A and B are shown apart, each in its own frame.
Chain A
Amino acid sequence: MSIVKAKELVHEYIRRDEEGNVEMIQTALDHVNIDIEEGSFVAVLGHNGSGKSTFAKHVNVLLKPTEGTMWVDGKDISNPIFTYPIRREAGMVFQNPDNQIVASVVEEDVGFGPENIGVEPDEIWRRVEESLKSVGMLKYRNHSPNKLSGGQKQRVAIAGVMAMQPKCIILDEPTAMLDPNGRKEVLEAVHELNRKKGVTVILITHYMEEVVDADRVFVMDSGKVVMDGTPREIFTRVEELKEHRLDVPQITLLAYELKKSGLDIPDGILTREELTEALCRLS
């Protein structure tokens, strides 16, 4: 069953001058069609300004379509009565870890979402404990968020979303402000949630390495979905990716260059192990 479905989705940012006349129209999403299966791990790739964040904000109804429709769990996002039900089911994690933590104690921040939707105190405590445990942050429950590292803060933010028990979480470049260690921590936590709890994950990113383990990848450029497939299928098309100003992972690039210069190895190699194996098989 599809959990997020976009049909001919268009979003335009309209800039007006002081008299209210339209000064400029920027099309951030241009007739986008996307269908995301429940329980899958999907990555949306694109360089800055490709429209990927705008897409993410539609899933959480922070933005509404100019044209076209999007359904989240079967609910039309243009209908105002679904705004809050959709936000409950599709949680969002943002880029800057500092600007999305509300409370000054970790556990209180995780409890913020459930408080908003009117969950009973006992149940809130249970959920807070469970979601902090699921991202490995339980022992920091009484800490101040200011004392945590970037990766830890981002995991707290993920726990905050998980405490609302969503079917789907959207991560809008969650690792852009983190160091390599923090990035790894966050990605591991997200994969774990996807595997163990069956939560649908939509990861918006421009780091190619992060999408290797995804079930499906959408590549966006200038508001359009330009490529769509499994990571392996996508990374086979190195030239095309370069056209959309994206870099393929180093290993894939190396394999691609080797193949181009005459070695007989398969397309779309994603990991170091695969490349080693392919090279060994040659000799």
Chain B
Amino acid sequence: MLRDITLGQYYPADSVIHKLDPRVKLVGTLVYIVSLFLFKGPVGFLVITAFLALSIKLSKVPFLYMVKGLKAIMILMIITALFNLFLTPGETPIFTLGPLKMYPEGVKTAIFMLIRLSYLIVGTSVMTLTTTPNQLTDGLEKGLMPLSVIGVPVHAIAMMMSIALRFIPILIEETDLIMKAQMARGADFETGGIIKKAKNMVPLLVPLFVSAFRRADDLAMAMEARCYTGGKGRTKMKPLKYSGNDARAYLLTFVFLAVVIVLRIYNL
């Protein structure tokens, strides 16, 4: 049962977006998120929609995949919408239900909030669907490299992330195994209240942690045996290099950001 969990939702396809440098995609997503919170009027909304639609079209990922993520936050979206609907103060209520009053301003905020949230999810999933976790880590490492000047261990962080990604499926499999072994000896993970369930997890977590530490120890030794000394003096098998498309994507992203800023200034 635990085995079915898949991490990262990479959708393999041969598209322009897939081939972009992960740094471009990271910056693009960041710009896109900023723009979501900048726009104020319908023109801004149209520009953002066009940008999102273009990315989805270019990524060759089926649209259904993109909206899948929305299901998970459906409840959050409904609650946010209701709060905004009834709690935004205004002048003339258009609808009254007991103590709750709905103003036109509330309707507007609720709609904007819904658009922002759903666009946020769909937009970021364009990135996660088109970039493998490894590329993402590489992109982060290279993109954050300037921070190493002020003492941030960028390489170590990236290395930890990629090792975590490598070991998640192994540890999941192990959890499954330990669970079965404990169940065979009468452990019960399913019945009882939250506290009882949590208590029942102890015989699962202890051996899991012990084994994780042992693995970490083994891995550290294996890495040392293969001359690993940290980021210094290391070369990359697959170095990140910008290509013409990356430059064009950067240009498009920043033109987009500029347009959104201008539209905000004019309140469109």
Contacts and interface: CB of A to CB of B under 8 A. Distances in A.
Interface residues of A, number: 38
A120 interface: yes
Contacts of B233: 118
A35 to B, nearest CB: 23
A87 B225 contact: yes
Given A100-B218, A101-B166, A102-B166, A118 B234 contact: yes
Nearest to B232: A118
Contacts of B134: 103-105, 108
Contact of B163 (A84, A102, A111, A161): A102
A161 B227 CA distance: 10
A146 B169 contact: yes
Given A62-B221, A104-B134, A104-B165, A164 B227 contact: yes
A26 interface: no
Give the size category of B's interface with A.
20 to 34
A104 B227 contact: no
A164 B222 CA distance: 14
B221 A94 contact: yes
Chain A: interface secondary structure? helix
B224 interface: yes
Contacts of A145: 166
A180 B235 CA distance: 38
Interface string A70-104: 00000000000000100110011010101111111
B228 A116 contact: yes
A112 interface: yes
Contact of B237 (A84, A121, A146, A161): A121
Nearest to B163: A102
A124 interface: yes
A119 interface: yes
A115 B237 contact: yes
B215 interface: yes
Contacts of B162: 102-104
Given A94-B218, A98-B215, A117 B227 contact: yes
Contacts of A140: none
B237 A102 contact: no
Nearest to B169: A146
Contact of B222 (A99, A108, A111): A99
B234 A116 contact: yes
Contacts of A120: 235
A160 interface: yes
B47 to A, nearest CB: 38
A207 interface: no
B221 A124 contact: no
A103 B222 contact: no
Contacts of B221: 62, 94
Nearest to B221: A62
B235 to A, nearest CB: 5
A168 to B, nearest CB: 13
B227 A84 contact: yes
A51 interface: no
Interface in A43-64: 60, 62
B223 interface: yes
Given A84-B229, A108-B134, A118 B222 contact: no
A108 B159 CA distance: 13
A120 B225 CA distance: 20
A91 B226 CA distance: 7
Contact of B226 (A96, A108, A113, A118): A113
Contacts of A146: 169-170
Given A105-B134, A116-B234, 19 more contacts: A62-B225, A87-B224, A87-B226, A92-B225, A94-B218, A98-B215, A99-B218, A101-B166, A102-B219, A104-B162, A104-B165, A107-B237, A112-B226, A113-B227, A115-B236, A116-B228, A116-B229, A161-B226, A164-B226
18 contacts: A62-B225, A87-B225, A91-B226, A94-B222, A96-B218, A98-B215, A99-B218, A100-B218, A100-B222, A102-B223, A103-B166, A104-B133, A104-B165, A112-B223, A115-B234, A115-B235, A119-B235, A121-B235
